Structure 1
Amino acid sequence: MSRSHPARTFAILALSVGSFATLQSLVVPVLPVIQRDLGTTTSGATWTMTAWLISAAVATPLLGRVGDMVGKRRIFVLALLAVALGSIVAALAPSIGVLIVARVIQGVGGAMFPLAFGIVRDAFAAHRLPSAIGALASIIAIGSGLGTVLAGPLADVLGWRGLFLVPVVFTVTAAVLARIFIPESETRAAGGVNPWAAILLSGWLVALLLPLSTGSQWGWGSPLVVGLFVAACLLLAGWIVVELRSRQPLVDMRMMRLPGVWAMNAAAVFIGASMFAVFSFFPRFVQIPTSTGYGLGASVSESGLLMLPMLVTMAITGFLSGPLARFIGFRMQVIIASSIIAVSSVAIGLWHSTLLEVSLEAGVFGIGLGLVYAAISSVVVQSVPPTQTGVASGMNTNLRTVGSAIGAAVMTALVTGATGADGLAAESGYTDGFVTAGILALGAVAVTVLSVVLARKPRTQQAAEVVTTAESPFAESEVEVEADAEAEAEPVLA
């Protein structure tokens, strides 16, 4: 692939992923309005989010793999067009059923995240790659929060249907620009898509995310929820067995056990849970009436503005992740950033007497989130061969999505489980929720430190393991990851 215009390629990718990431959170604040206008129930309105979540979870690794095989740009453009089509159908939807179908179509666009990282890897020289990955990850993180900020003002002007039309302009433009200016990838993965692996992967993701998203409505102890969790475990076990035995695996388990992959996948679950717990409940928290004795009484627009410091700091630290790597390794960045997320989450839960105070705490939260998003993405992308970038990034994105669903479920249970005499959520529910979000972020610290410790093996043992994996197509990557982890271990343990 030509590297003559990497800046132009990056600009097109940034427009694409930024628009889609904003769309993710743009809908959440207007769900009550959608419910009223379409004459549906709270459960029906919630399904507009659940349908998107499941669709994106299934499409992300599958299309990431297809992009690795047939061309990343080609599938990237198709993902953009799917978002545009789904947005148009959503804007015109006469019923909640049609809107849910539209959200399923939009969810296919989730595949553009791993594909974008793959295209960046193809387009940029090695010395510029960390900065490019960090910047792109930062844009994705910023977009996820920007939708919450913009939803109120845009809905007042355009209505909720207009919110779906805004991304159409950007996604169609990005699709045309990508088709014209982004060269197709030259490196292709061999083989095909194992149909049984695809079915089992889709099955366990749906069986897991469905009860996580709707368990509070159906009842966590209901036979349906319990049955789905059991099915998820069985399908996951079956998927792993099929992948291990497959000559052409959808997700190569040898790749998944690389230090830079398994540790960052585990960290993604913890960070996703912590991030979404704060993202989804911070606006509600600051809108609690002052009559409760702890509420800050912010309006919908004010709650969005209170998140602006978070978005600004996310942008700054996300873009700085690559340049910082010369002094602070990416794994060390994950450890530092996750610790910052933990401290700021706990601070929001314990100290929230004024709007200024919570806004500053949100800004600190953004420092950690922007840095950790970029660092995790950089470690994953640089730990696998170019032909596996799409599927590796896709699985990491997926596991962050699973973490987000877990975080939302835990936060919902804690907040709704504690109510005051006025029927509103008690302060203790929010305090417990934000403190729990901080504890979840510490899980990312733990798994990252563990991966570094495990990488610091005696050289004789490392050499023996390299010999035993010499036949693996990932042998070279494993050596590089081990060396990288060893180089970073000193500052981590110092």
Structure 2
Amino acid sequence: MRATDRRTDYRLTFVVLCVGVGSFSLLQSMVTPVLATIERGLGTDQATVTWVLTAYLLSASVCTPIVGRVGDKIGKERMLVFALGSLAVGSFLAAIAPSIGVLIVARAIQGIGGGVLPLTFGIIRDEFPRDKVPGALGTSAALLAVGGGIGLVVAGPIVDALSYHWLFWLPMVLTLLAALAAHFFVPESPERAPGRINLGTALLMSTWLVALLLAVSQGHSWGWASPEVVGLFVLAAVVLPVWVWAEARSDSPLIDMTMMRIPTVWTVNLVSLLFGMGMYSMFAFLPQFLQTPADVTGYGFGASVTQSGLMLLPQTVATFVAGLASGRLAVRYGSKAMLVAGAALTSLGTVGIVVAHDHVWQLLVESTVLGLAFGLAFAAMSNLIVDAVPQTQTGVASGMNANIRTVGGAIGGAVLATVITAGHRPDGFPVESGYTHGFFLLVVTSALAAVVAVAVPVMRATTHLVPGPQTEAELEALKGGTAAHGRAR
């Protein structure tokens, strides 16, 4: 029996959603530590192999808000199956890729799976009892950071024991199972946004996003003053206001500019931009710092890929614990307080790395603080966004928030790469001050995120077309007594 015939228990739905989000987040980070292995395995060069990351970034940035919006309009369950199916297909192609070109195409297909995030948040809002929504949102949002951390931990052991191909075989199995479970067990959306999909504004949004992210991600290797990078920045600067103008005047906008101007939405999005700069940059450069050979450079720990991942395991555990606790904390203290605390703890943990990084125990403590911060902040941002927008815009609002965080990560990574590599030792390693200066920039962005978080107004959307069930008891009543007529609303 399809889930559309009878409302599936929300706990089963949650398991399926978590598998999907976890698989997507794993694919974001597992490939990064083994790029050199992929480069050797496919006989390519360093400049080309970075497109394995860039293609995924560009595809996910474009597809995340678009898939979320399409889900708002035609049904979140069917789009969830599509997003998970894309992850599975892309993972299969990546696992069997005979050349770097095929692998890059496969990674672009995987990027479509970015739509899993906004669809997950929308389904939780549609299907869960109201008192369970904050905790479910917090846990699923924290899984994005947890998956990123786990990817760094398991990449080395998987490659050492098997091969880099298994970095794609394993997620393929998970996402294929999740897609089948979503088809059979996740209920179809009871809420639909009216209107058509505006292809013109979707094209405009894709153009400025790709131009901006391509310039940022390739600026370090192509040269910030190169004609290609300058031209891409100019293109993004020209198309962005045109896109905003077109969306504001559209009868059926892809991204509702009125929604984007809601005070809670734009302030939380600004926090996401600043927070993304710190979190994703830390994922990228802290393992590199740990892997730097101390006997050669005088800093670092000479850790292998596997060892550096294990050293960051406490951070991942802390993120997961914070995500699990986020629901109760949000009820007791409010999501805004959690967001402020998450941003402030990020700044504190990063300050610790700047001033004390000579011993393993110091970095274990500091990265654990960062893990708690990531879990709290991810959960808070998701809850604040979902609470502030109408139910029919949950997917697109969540998608744009995730997208803005990704843009922040791309900008932060590019800036840090430039700062860290500004001074090189004769042996080719960055000087220690490059890392300390780069991490100090993240202290600044995290502190700014905390300041903006203090200014976030707490509000709940008053234009929800249909209220969801308020308690678990109400949900059970809706499943039973009103099954013949669908969900009671």
Residue 156 of structure 2 corresponds to residue 152 of structure 1: yes
Instruction: After TM superposition, give the deviation of residue 193 of structure 1 in Å.
Output: 1.3
Give 2:485's aligned residue. none
Q: 1:432 to 1:186 in 2, by over 3 A?
A: same
Residue pair 1:3, 1:124 contacting (<8 A) in 2 also: no
Give 2:416's aligned residue. 411
Instruction: After TM superposition, give the deviation of residue 449 of structure 1 in Å.
Output: 2.1
Partner of 1:39, secondary structure, is: coil
Counterparts of residues 247-266 of structure 1 (less than 5 Å): 247-266=251-270
Give 2:300's aligned residue. 295
Residue pair 2:8, 2:185 contacting (<8 A) in 1 also: no
Residue 139 of structure 2 corresponds to residue 135 of structure 1: yes
In structure 2, what is the Cα distance between the partners aligned to 1:451 and 1:139?
A: 24
In structure 2, what is the Cα distance between the partners aligned to 1:411 and 1:171?
A: 33
Instruction: After TM superposition, give the deviation of residue 344 of structure 1 in Å.
Output: 0.5
Residue 53 of structure 2 corresponds to residue 59 of structure 1: no
Instruction: After TM superposition, give the deviation of residue 315 of structure 1 in Å.
Output: 0.8
Give 2:224's aligned residue. 220
In structure 2, what is the Cα distance between the partners aligned to 1:360 and 1:447?
A: 26
In structure 1, what is the Cα distance between the partners aligned to 2:423 and 2:344?
A: 28
Partner of 1:451, secondary structure, is: coil
Residue 44 of structure 2 corresponds to residue 40 of structure 1: yes
Amino acid at match of 2:244: I
Residue 238 of structure 2 corresponds to residue 234 of structure 1: yes
In structure 2, what is the Cα distance between the partners aligned to 1:264 and 1:210?
A: 25
> What do residues 316-361 of structure 1 show as CA deviations (whole Å, max 9, x unaligned)?
1111111112221111211111010011112112211111111111
Residue pair 2:58, 2:214 contacting (<8 A) in 1 also: yes
In structure 2, what is the Cα distance between the partners aligned to 1:475 and 1:120?
A: 19
Residue 214 of structure 2 corresponds to residue 210 of structure 1: yes
2:351 to 346, 355, 364: 346
Partner of 1:184, secondary structure, is: coil
Out of 238-247 and 442-451, give the one that drifted further.
442-451
1:364 to 363, 369, 393: 369
Instruction: After TM superposition, give the deviation of residue 421 of structure 1 in Å.
Output: 3.4
Residue pair 2:390, 2:462 contacting (<8 A) in 1 also: no
In structure 1, what is the Cα distance between the partners aligned to 2:453 and 2:103?
A: 40
Amino acid at match of 1:129: V
Give 1:88's aligned residue. 92
Instruction: After TM superposition, give the deviation of residue 311 of structure 1 in Å.
Output: 0.6
2:170 to 154, 157, 166: 166
In structure 1, what is the Cα distance between the partners aligned to 2:462 and 2:330?
A: 24
Residue pair 2:420, 2:438 contacting (<8 A) in 1 also: yes
Partner of 1:393, secondary structure, is: helix
Amino acid at match of 2:234: V
> What do residues 387-428 of structure 1 show as CA deviations (whole Å, max 9, x unaligned)?
101100000010011001011101101111122233211110
Residue 320 of structure 2 corresponds to residue 320 of structure 1: no
Residue pair 1:280, 1:408 contacting (<8 A) in 2 also: yes
Residue 210 of structure 2 corresponds to residue 199 of structure 1: no
Amino acid at match of 1:42: Q
Amino acid at match of 1:97: G
Amino acid at match of 2:124: V
Instruction: After TM superposition, give the deviation of residue 277 of structure 1 in Å.
Output: 1.2
Residue pair 1:270, 1:444 contacting (<8 A) in 2 also: yes
Partner of 1:284, secondary structure, is: helix
1:117 to 105, 118, 121: 121
Residue pair 1:18, 1:139 contacting (<8 A) in 2 also: yes
Give 1:330's aligned residue. 335
TM-score w.r.t. length of structure 2: 0.92
1:438 to 438, 443, 447: 443
Runs in 1 of length 4+ with deviation above 6 angstroms? none
Residue pair 2:8, 2:187 contacting (<8 A) in 1 also: no
Instruction: After TM superposition, give the deviation of residue 438 of structure 1 in Å.
Output: 1.6
Give 2:478's aligned residue. none
Residue 12 of structure 2 corresponds to residue 5 of structure 1: no
Partner of 1:10, secondary structure, is: helix
In structure 2, what is the Cα distance between the partners aligned to 1:379 and 1:181?
A: 28
Unaligned residue ranges in structure 1 (runs of 5+): 457-473, 478-494
Amino acid at match of 1:134: G
Give 1:424's aligned residue. 429
Residue pair 2:338, 2:376 contacting (<8 A) in 1 also: yes
Residue pair 1:3, 1:125 contacting (<8 A) in 2 also: no
Amino acid at match of 1:195: L
Out of 413-422 and 219-228, give the one that drifted further.
413-422
Give 1:492's aligned residue. none
Residue pair 2:247, 2:257 contacting (<8 A) in 1 also: yes
Instruction: After TM superposition, give the deviation of residue 4 of structure 1 in Å.
Output: 5.3
Counterparts of residues 12-27 of structure 1 (less than 5 Å): 12-27=16-31
Amino acid at match of 1:264: V
Give 1:379's aligned residue. 384
Unaligned residue ranges in structure 2 (runs of 5+): 465-489
Identity of aligned residues (%): 47
Instruction: After TM superposition, give the deviation of residue 295 of structure 1 in Å.
Output: 2.0
In structure 2, what is the Cα distance between the partners aligned to 1:27 and 1:79?
A: 20
Residue pair 2:60, 2:114 contacting (<8 A) in 1 also: yes
In structure 2, what is the Cα distance between the partners aligned to 1:363 and 1:20?
A: 23
In structure 2, what is the Cα distance between the partners aligned to 1:341 and 1:321?
A: 16
In structure 2, what is the Cα distance between the partners aligned to 1:438 and 1:322?
A: 27
In structure 2, what is the Cα distance between the partners aligned to 1:248 and 1:92?
A: 41
Amino acid at match of 2:303: A
RMSD: 1.5
In structure 2, what is the Cα distance between the partners aligned to 1:194 and 1:410?
A: 34
Give 1:244's aligned residue. 248
Residue pair 2:336, 2:456 contacting (<8 A) in 1 also: no
Partner of 1:191, secondary structure, is: coil
In structure 1, what is the Cα distance between the partners aligned to 2:161 and 2:419?
A: 35
Partner of 1:246, secondary structure, is: coil
Amino acid at match of 1:409: A
In structure 2, what is the Cα distance between the partners aligned to 1:165 and 1:389?
A: 32
> What do residues 89-109 of structure 1 show as CA deviations (whole Å, max 9, x unaligned)?
111111111111111111100
In structure 2, what is the Cα distance between the partners aligned to 1:183 and 1:451?
A: 33
Counterparts of residues 388-399 of structure 1 (less than 5 Å): 388-399=393-404
Counterparts of residues 480-491 of structure 1 (less than 5 Å): none
Instruction: After TM superposition, give the deviation of residue 3 of structure 1 in Å.
Output: 5.7
Partner of 2:118, secondary structure, is: helix
Amino acid at match of 1:439: V
> What do residues 195-251 of structure 1 show as CA deviations (whole Å, max 9, x unaligned)?
211010000100100011110010011121111111111111000000110011111
In structure 1, what is the Cα distance between the partners aligned to 2:411 and 2:404?
A: 10
How many pairs align?
459
In structure 1, what is the Cα distance between the partners aligned to 2:80 and 2:308?
A: 34
Partner of 1:249, secondary structure, is: coil
Amino acid at match of 1:321: S
